[in-house]
Amino acid sequence: MRVARRHWRIIAITVVVVTVATFAFGAMRPTRYRATSTVIYQGDIPVNSSLTMEVLRVGTLVSSPGFVQRVYKDLHVPVPPTATFTVSTSAIPLDPTGAVNLITTTNLAGIQVEAGTAQFAAGLANAYADALVAWRTEVARAQAKLSVQSLRAQLAALTAKQSSATADKSLLSSLYVQISQQLTAQEALAARGTGGYSVATYAAVPSTPFSPRPMRNAIVGFMAGLIIGFALAFLRESRDSRLDGEQDVIRLLGLPVIGRMPSVGNPAVSRASLSGADRESLRRAAYGVLYAAQQVDIRTIVVTSSCQGEGTGVVISEVALALARSGKRVVVIDADLRAPAQHALFALPNDRGLSCVVTKECSLEESVQRVLLAPPGGSSLCILTSGPVSGDPGDIVGSHGMIGVIASLRDDADIVLVASPALQTAADTIALASMTDGIIILVDTQIATRPALAESSEALSRLPCLKLGVVIASPPTAKRWRFAPRRGSSRSAASGAERRLESVTLATSASPEDLGAGVGSGDAG
């Protein structure tokens, strides 16, 4: 059923094509009628033969060229092209099960004719039956006449021997009587012999054709189409690496689902393009992340994905905003130095950031940027962008300085979200997992593949941190998101950007006092 649900189009198209093709093929076939006459064999069984074998020989006789000429000679019509009719024979079993073998004997044979007209089919079947009986009668009588001549010659020879004085009179008389009896029997056979065959039933004129039957062909084609369609579906399934929704994700990763959201696509997508329904689902995912973290007292979380382009950057930014508005002190670290996105999503400068702090080109206080939320209050959201990257990103993320950055921010924040490259892209996530408390993996069912998830599951099993769960992104449906508000869903991306600018004020430069209020002071930055 899973395969049928995934590839129902292939199955449906195959069924329709095969059904229509078989229906059209049957409808275009010429009309054919079938008539059957029955002959019965009641003669003597030859030596080294059987009744069934004698009946089966009817087919060989009927198909011989000379017999065909004989039939049409009796019908007084020219022989039509062989394509206009077909003749076949079969033994008619006496066994109720329909089996014909050497043990279940039968003396009935059917002569079946298929032709374009009903009268011709019935007439030809009866003509074949009459010709078979007449032929076998002629053959039997001709053989009997030859036997009569031979026996008469033997009697003449015995008469000559009886006139000899030296002959054994009694022996010759006994032989004479035996041959005389055989001669009488053969003379009777030569005069009235039938060859053992007679017509049991004559063929009736068929009232309906047996072909074409387009509806029967269509039913057979429908069943054949189902078989072929499922075969093609399973063949496609064996070569298809796409995910079959949430069940494939849960089965391959073996992690609980802590949130569901619509697909946000590429990480470079602007947050302003998200609809109200998208943000509602992201807010629910954020609360799922918060609940999972609170269950085991986790404060630093790596957020990654299985493949590049599943929207990790957008998800982290929206989850961070939702958590910050709930009163949590949130810090976002953009550790995806290969494809940084947080500075673009929050419209922040990226001349200083994580790379500068790790390489000690600037301090943590100078690099962390605070985002002011509207309305102001207890909310706190700070962003540590990636900063300019000149060397190998893996060396920066895996360095000892990265451990100090995470530890410093952890002391003065409720939750630290670390954006990481996809597991299939780089080994950065493995290094970050050893520095944080837990990891969450984002899976977009439209982008991730089964092989990628299988490899990601193997990589996750070796990580030392706690696996909190998976956030599943899938195409939104009316049923799944029907309860989500659709504020501004029909507006353009430009109007959405204006709405976001009204609720979020970005601080592109902040004083140390402002930064201290957001993430602490001193060693904690």
Closest C-alpha among 341, 317, 273, 345 to residue 494? 273
Torsions phi, psi for 378 (to 5 deg): -85, 0
Q: Is the dihedral of CA 366, 368, 369, 374 positive or negative?
A: negative
Q: How far apart are the first and last CA of the chain?
A: 57
pLDDT band at residue 95, thresholds of 50, 70 and 90? low
Torsions phi, psi for 351 (to 5 deg): -75, -20
Q: Please give the Cα distance from 485 to 311 (Å, whole number).
A: 22
| Percent over 90 (pLDDT), the chain | 21
- The 10s digit of each residue's pLDDT in 335-347 is 999 889 899 888 8
Coil, helix or strand at residue 262: strand
How far is residue 62 from each of residues 84, 205, 210, 416, 454, measured CA to CA in Å? 17, 21, 23, 94, 68
The mean pLDDT of 92-101, rounded to a whole number, is 58
- The 10s digit of each residue's pLDDT in 340-384 is 989 988 889 999 999 999 988 999 999 999 987 766 555 689 999
Coil, helix or strand at residue 429: helix
Residue 55 is predicted with a pLDDT of 77
Residue 230 is predicted with a pLDDT of 93
Instruction: Tell how strand 380-384 and strand 329-334 pair up.
Output: parallel
Q: Which domains does the chain have, with CATH numbers?
A: 30-201 (no CATH), 245-485 (3.40.50.300)
The amino acid at residue 136 is R
pTM: 0.54
* Cβ proximity of 296 and 466 under 8 Å: yes
Q: Please give the Cα distance from 301 to 283 (Å, whole number).
A: 17
Distance of CA 515 to the CA centre of its chain: 58
pLDDT band at residue 156, thresholds of 50, 70 and 90? confident
pLDDT band at residue 96, thresholds of 50, 70 and 90? low
* Cβ proximity of 502 and 355 under 8 Å: no
Residue 158 has pLDDT above 70, yes or no: yes
**Which residue did the predictor score with more confidence, 51 or 71?**
71
Q: Is the dihedral of CA 446, 452, 458, 459 positive or negative?
A: negative
**Which residue did the predictor score with more confidence, 426 or 337?**
337
* Cβ proximity of 296 and 438 under 8 Å: yes
Residue 498 has pLDDT above 70, yes or no: no
The amino acid at residue 328 is K
Q: Please give the Cα distance from 232 to 83 (Å, whole number).
A: 37
Distance of CA 410 to the CA centre of its chain: 50
Q: Please give the Cα distance from 398 to 430 (Å, whole number).
A: 9
Q: Please give the Cα distance from 133 to 62 (Å, whole number).
A: 11
Q: Please give the Cα distance from 253 to 487 (Å, whole number).
A: 34
Coil, helix or strand at residue 470: strand
The mean pLDDT of 433-438, rounded to a whole number, is 92
Q: Enter the tokens of residue 422.
A: 């996809």
Strands (E) across 402-437 are located at: 415-419
Full strand arrangement of the beta sheet holding 415-419: 257-262, 466-474, 438-444, 300-305, 415-419, 329-334, 380-384, 369-373, 504-506
Closest C-alpha among 196, 178, 200, 177 to residue 46? 196
* Cβ proximity of 190 and 141 under 8 Å: yes
How far is residue 401 from each of residues 212, 363, 436, 486, measured CA to CA in Å? 84, 12, 14, 44
Residue 415 is predicted with a pLDDT of 92
* Cβ proximity of 104 and 115 under 8 Å: no
The mean pLDDT of 223-227, rounded to a whole number, is 94
Q: Tell me the helix, strand and coil percentages in the chain, rounded to 5.
A: 50, 15, 35
Residue 261 has pLDDT above 90, yes or no: no
The mean pLDDT of 12-18, rounded to a whole number, is 95
The mean pLDDT of 294-298, rounded to a whole number, is 81
